[in-house]
Structure 1
Amino acid sequence: MPIFLNKESDVDVLIIGAGPAGLMCANSLARAGVNVRIIDERPAKVMAGQADGVQPRTIEVLQSYGLADRLLREGNQMHMVAFYNPSPSGGIERTGRAIDVTAPTARYPFEVTLHQGAIESIFLDSMRSLGVTVQRPVVPTSIELSQDEAVLNDPNSRAVKVVLKHLDPTDRQSETEVVHAKFVLGGDGAHSWVRKTFGITMDGEQTDYIWGVVDTVPETDFPDIRNRCAIHSNNGSCMVIPREGDKVRLYIQLSDKQFVDPSTGRVDKDNVSPEKLLEVAKKSFAPYSISTPNPIDWWTLYIIGQRVASKFSVRDRVFIAGDACHTHSPKAGQGMNASMLDTHNLATLPPAWKITYILRGWADMSLLKTYEFERRKYAQDLINFDKKFSTLFSGKPRTEDNQNGVSHEEFLNAFQTFGAFSSGIGVHYLPSAVVNPQHQSCATNLIVGQRMLPHIFIRAADARPYEIQDLLPADTRFKVLVFAGDTPDKAQLERVNALAAEMGKPESFLTRFGHGEPAKVFDILAISSAKKDIVNYTDLPQLLRPHWSKVLLDDVDMFARTGGGGYEAYGIDPHKGALVIVRPDGYVALWLHLSSCRTSTIILRRSWWRHRVVQFYCSVPGLLDDCVYTGNRMYYRL
């Protein structure tokens, strides 16, 4: 019989919960070299079911970590959606088909469906290669946050003490452990222990809509079984989600209140079975037949509720993400995506930049306030979207006898209108310390606060085409994109050379914020608007071509199959060029014409400057001539 002794340990970031939000965070932080631990009360990862839809923006994010190829290889792609409504002759009939993703700028214009366990495996394998594994089964039993202001304001202090209980300890492992952490992330689901422990409320409401979910391999004559389908029938609504292999997920609307436990208001799964759910589905599919001779892979019941946490952090030391801070209907495929993008913003490789920069001493603690500022607004927008979408989807269809029901045109219009938001492509962060839209009027298509638009450019050295997003990996670095304009023009090249000379000075931002190794903080790429047959990559100044692969051209490839038109697509003058700063999470922080660099008044917050924050309220700090303090701002005149 082992003797258990209390054990104490230190860690930079403790993550509670190994769902998609926690795993993305752990993977990102580990890649950034942060000392991170992740625990989960489940003895093993999810093996089937749960979340299964990956939206276009999330695929882009996974690609920035080098993880999208496996997702695309293992998952199913949804390119088309079909709509079914009541037929005058009884049953349902198809009333239209449309593209599944209405987001014209999406690099991946489709959704990928794959069960949550397989998606978690992608992260787990990546983490394992970095020496990080999920510790299971482990639960937190208490958490204590320091009340000492000096401790809280010191990013190197371990301000959070968490007591963990190992549910299945080995002979060499203590049953109880005390962990001293600098930061804690609660990605522990809708019933979050972290959220409840700190008394954070979930604000919102619960609907009367009850839905069942079944994952199976069906036999059916339904012609759109391999398309996403929205079915409105007089028997209730259904949604079809084709999955990997031959598997299909069915969302089935239920109307009988017998599935709800009156004492708790929660769904009572003891009163229903997957067979009962499928009996309801068969009525909604008529006149088409559907049966399930194969085993049921997974099933569940839920009541639609839309809630947002009253706050997403406690003293910028303890954070919650994913279902812990927002819950909603799963039919728009937002839950897992929102969860992963929460931690992508905060502490995953790109987001790891917020915690990582602070742990490296490159940023002030106040940078973390932008997490709640950006993601809570997104969560509230998500809830507003979900209320409209779930109401339309769960509502009765419009018929001759029910003129107040939901018409096909109304549902289709909403589906297409919400496309940019539901795909994740249309997420727009408001102005903050790391979003400066001051010169947005100079740009038409490259929007400050939105993600960097995908486009194919060719490499100047060898004319090889590259997707620009693949050159902006999630590696915690700010990307400095110098759209150099028409560099064969002598006057323009002189301006570019002058810019590079200023950026190379000791007082420039590269030196001031580079901490002796600017390449670890900034990644510089130059993009010329000139043609491949007249440009040498060596034409550009050395600082703008730190490596031969860092110079691109806005031209077509050697076979004229791809590339070209990038300056036009971004709204950049092909003669004068522009400077674009892209945050480590792939969102545009600032946009500025190169021609305005010497005439603009640029603003940096003094507190951020003092704490060496890499934040661009300025275009090119290296061009500074003088500065004036006014209040809490520092004005620089170029």
Structure 2
Amino acid sequence: MVKESRVDVLIIGAGPSGLMCANALAGAGVDFRIIDNRPVGVAAGQADGIQPRTIEVLQSYGLADGLLKDGAQMYLCAFYNPGPDGGIERTGRAPDVTAPSARYPFKITIDQGSIESMFIESLKSQEISVDRPIAPSSLEISEDPEELLDPTSYPVKVVLDHVLPSDATPEQEIVYAKYVLGADGAHSWVRKNLGFTMDGEQTDYIWGVIDFVPDTDFPDIRNRAAIHSLNGSCMIIPREGDKVRFYLQMSDKDVMDPETGRIDKRKVTAENLINTARKTFHPYIVNEPKEVDWCSIYIIGQRVASNFSKHDRVFIAGDACHTHSPKAGQGMNASMNDTHNLGTSFPISDGVYFSESLQTAWKLAQVLRGRADISLLKTYEFERQKYAQDLINFDREFSALFSGKPRTSENQEGVTHEQFLRAFQASGGFSSGIGVHYMPSAIVNTIHQDCAPEIIIGERMLPQIFVRAADARPVDIQDMLPADTRFKLLFFVGLLTSEQLAKVRRLAEELQLPTSFLQKYGYSTEGKAQSMFDIIPITAGHKDDVNFLDIPLTFRSHWSKVLIDDTDVTGRLGGGAYSRFGIDEKQITMVVVRPDGYVGMIAPSTALESMDKYFGSFLIGKTLNPGE
């Protein structure tokens, strides 16, 4: 008899994107299951770059410390171009991260296996494991509109095959799910089953990649380096320990079978890749490597899925919905941020992959709890598909410049160092993930942007040091915004004169009324589920003049959450936030930070109806849930 089961969320694929979502859902207390068709995870190679915004995201989960400790950190990028003798010479250096507001002004590189292990260990600490090797064999979604709109229904039927030794008959089971996430890679079974196409194009650029411990006299071997030579281009990525990664532009004769015109993978050996590197690096020496971890080959293609979801019940994330070149370090970052958009959790005890994971998780969690309308899930495709298309457009331009021939006296149409450097620096906000901007929607409302013109609605909350009023300890506001499914309400209450304090107390009284958004949607903590809101008041003024007990209890859930816009005791950290953000110290300004760290709404305290309208557009009020 075929085994049958029910689950709220079935995650298909245990790469970084699927594992990110699993961790988010586990923290939120959601009933889920994660499967993968591989017997074990990635051992070597694959993705390796963590962008500054992704570090911030991992920090919000309590997972950044290990990566900061073990990974390589890239601060500089060196640029090499053809010299007068035909070899290469350094033409400049620049900061590798060109996003001024980045909290972490560097990228981290570490192998994908370590990143997957980080998530798997976190799941193990919660007694959750990946079910493997299991592969889906069929997927059906109900076409009944009432069932699809019913948050308690299980409209997705998935048949799973337990992969056994070749001489055994596969065991099958049937899973009925409320939601399914396909995070199963570039050749996604889920995407193909849904009939979604991958729209875009494939280039003629062929690249080899090799991870190894180098023996070379190249002076920038521990920096990121972009090399344009007469023998092709190369990108150097320093890695953890003594390892580096080379991305090497290959010629057709290096990799093609002359008879079939197809890539002959037998030619893609470490020896051949090192020989290509020797030509590219002249006059620098590249000796036989001491150790080779992994090598592969790929053809650059830029494609985006035609859809990211079906009936708001089955979603795809990561490489399943966008593919591009790896040299800008976006693949794993974009994928994890996909699922960050869908489902954020509470912090697990200590680019553009993590985003989609988080996008899915917090939205799924609130819908499954009955606190948000199912229409909230439509914002996943709206936000992440536009981001993916922007990513492809960026990657197309960057890859063409990087793969193009350098300008020389014989080739005046080639790429100049100045041209490449301008593109490199101009793309810093996007490539770092810092500049991701979500357009207006139910969860991005810009009507009162002028209250804090430098906190951009639709972008992530800027890092900023404040001091705690109770003990003068400096804290970064991003550390007060864990990815725990709660909306963070930052109340910039201004300079607490007697007149201003009276306004703050009146606002507290208004927010206690049953008709206020705080009461209508402010679910209290129940079991593992988080409450809906976390309130953080931020005063102007000097630490010697602020008594945190003056802040009404409505805003003061804990002594550690009252902050002051002042410098720390050394005078070096913090201060100037009101001025930096363009906030009036004589007014009370409310900033809504979504569970994924992005600013969703800003409003003055005189516009509580705007806040009520904002949350009412996607949340379900407590009065509609008698059981709450």
TM-score bin, normalised by smaller chain: over 0.9
Under a length normalisation based on structure 2, what TM-score does the superposition of the two structures give? 0.93
Q: 1:526 corresponds to which residue?
A: 537
Q: 2:570 corresponds to which residue?
A: 559
Q: 1:136 corresponds to which residue?
A: 132
Contact persistence 1:362–1:612 (CA under 8 A): yes
* 2:537 is aligned with 1:514: no
Q: Which of the numbers 274, 284, 290 marks the counterpart of 1:288?
A: 284
Q: 2:53 corresponds to which residue?
A: 57
Q: Which amino acid aligns with 1:25?
A: C
* 2:536 is aligned with 1:536: no
Partners of 1:550 and 1:263 lie apart in 2 by: 69
Describe the SS at the equivalent of 1:501: helix
Q: 1:346 corresponds to which residue?
A: 342
* 2:557 is aligned with 1:546: yes
Q: Which of the numbers 162, 166, 171 marks the counterpart of 2:162?
A: 166
Q: Which amino acid aligns with 1:510?
A: L
More divergent stretch after superposition (573-582 vs 261-270): 261-270
Partners of 2:374 and 2:275 lie apart in 1 by: 55
More divergent stretch after superposition (245-254 vs 146-155): 146-155
Partners of 1:388 and 1:482 lie apart in 2 by: 41
Q: 1:219 corresponds to which residue?
A: 215
Partners of 2:344 and 2:95 lie apart in 1 by: 31
More divergent stretch after superposition (39-48 vs 346-355): 346-355
Q: 1:66 corresponds to which residue?
A: 62
Partners of 1:411 and 1:96 lie apart in 2 by: 11
Deviation at 1:605, TM superposition (A): 7.2
Describe the SS at the equivalent of 1:576: coil
* 2:450 is aligned with 1:451: no
Q: Which of the numbers 20, 23, 37 marks the counterpart of 1:24?
A: 20
Q: Which amino acid aligns with 1:521?
A: M
Q: 1:491 corresponds to which residue?
A: 499
Q: Give the % identical residues.
A: 63
Q: Which amino acid aligns with 2:33?
A: R
Deviation at 1:575, TM superposition (A): 2.9
Contact persistence 1:481–1:581 (CA under 8 A): yes
Partners of 2:236 and 2:178 lie apart in 1 by: 44
Q: Which of the numbers 201, 226, 229 marks the counterpart of 2:225?
A: 229
Q: Which of the numbers 152, 171, 175 marks the counterpart of 1:156?
A: 152
Q: Which amino acid aligns with 1:322?
A: G
Describe the SS at the equivalent of 2:272: helix
Partners of 1:603 and 1:283 lie apart in 2 by: 64
Partners of 1:227 and 1:37 lie apart in 2 by: 40
Q: Which amino acid aligns with 1:165?
A: D
Q: How many residues align?
A: 605
CA distance change for structure 1 residues 17 and 150 in 2, over 3 Å: closer, same or farther? same
Q: Which of the numbers 189, 196, 205 marks the counterpart of 1:193?
A: 189
Q: 2:310 corresponds to which residue?
A: 314
Contact persistence 1:6–1:174 (CA under 8 A): no
Q: Which of the numbers 377, 399, 412 marks the counterpart of 1:403?
A: 412
- Post-superposition Cα deviations, 1:53-94, rounded to whole Å, max 9, x if no partner, equal 000000000000000001101101000000000001220000
Deviation at 1:262, TM superposition (A): 9.4
Deviation at 1:578, TM superposition (A): 1.2
- Post-superposition Cα deviations, 1:253-298, rounded to whole Å, max 9, x if no partner, equal 0121563579998744223212111101110000000123323100
- Post-superposition Cα deviations, 1:344-382, rounded to whole Å, max 9, x if no partner, equal 001242542200110000111110000000000000000
Partners of 2:320 and 2:269 lie apart in 1 by: 28
Q: Which amino acid aligns with 1:597?
A: A
CA distance change for structure 1 residues 43 and 111 in 2, over 3 Å: closer, same or farther? same
Q: Which of the numbers 291, 294, 300 marks the counterpart of 1:298?
A: 294
Deviation at 1:441, TM superposition (A): 2.8
More divergent stretch after superposition (553-562 vs 47-56): 553-562
CA distance change for structure 1 residues 606 and 239 in 2, over 3 Å: closer, same or farther? closer
Q: 2:266 corresponds to which residue?
A: 270
| Runs (4+) off by over 4 Å | 260-267, 516-519, 600-603
Q: Which amino acid aligns with 2:459?
A: Q
- Post-superposition Cα deviations, 1:493-533, rounded to whole Å, max 9, x if no partner, equal 11111111111112211221123559711000100002111
Q: Which amino acid aligns with 2:543?
A: K
Deviation at 1:443, TM superposition (A): 2.5
Deviation at 1:597, TM superposition (A): 3.0
CA distance change for structure 1 residues 606 and 119 in 2, over 3 Å: closer, same or farther? closer
Contact persistence 1:476–1:584 (CA under 8 A): yes
* 2:83 is aligned with 1:87: yes
CA distance change for structure 1 residues 609 and 255 in 2, over 3 Å: closer, same or farther? closer
Deviation at 1:461, TM superposition (A): 0.3
Q: Which of the numbers 373, 376, 390 marks the counterpart of 1:364?
A: 373
CA distance change for structure 1 residues 262 and 463 in 2, over 3 Å: closer, same or farther? farther
Under a length normalisation based on structure 1, what TM-score does the superposition of the two structures give? 0.92
Gapped runs of 5+ residues in structure 2? 346-357, 624-628
- Post-superposition Cα deviations, 1:404-428, rounded to whole Å, max 9, x if no partner, equal 0000000000000000000000000
CA distance change for structure 1 residues 174 and 306 in 2, over 3 Å: closer, same or farther? closer
Q: Which of the numbers 597, 601, 604 marks the counterpart of 2:607?
A: 597
Contact persistence 2:371–2:619 (CA under 8 A): no
Q: Which of the numbers 13, 30, 35 marks the counterpart of 1:34?
A: 30
Deviation at 1:613, TM superposition (A): 9.7
Q: 2:388 corresponds to which residue?
A: 379
Contact persistence 2:443–2:614 (CA under 8 A): no
Partners of 2:275 and 2:171 lie apart in 1 by: 48
Partners of 1:58 and 1:516 lie apart in 2 by: 30
CA distance change for structure 1 residues 111 and 266 in 2, over 3 Å: closer, same or farther? farther
Partners of 1:222 and 1:231 lie apart in 2 by: 12
CA distance change for structure 1 residues 193 and 126 in 2, over 3 Å: closer, same or farther? same
Contact persistence 1:267–1:302 (CA under 8 A): no
Contact persistence 1:312–1:325 (CA under 8 A): yes
> Please, what is the CA RMSD of the aligned residues?
2.1
Partners of 1:96 and 1:174 lie apart in 2 by: 58
Describe the SS at the equivalent of 1:345: strand
- Post-superposition Cα deviations, 1:32-63, rounded to whole Å, max 9, x if no partner, equal 00011111111111111100000000000000
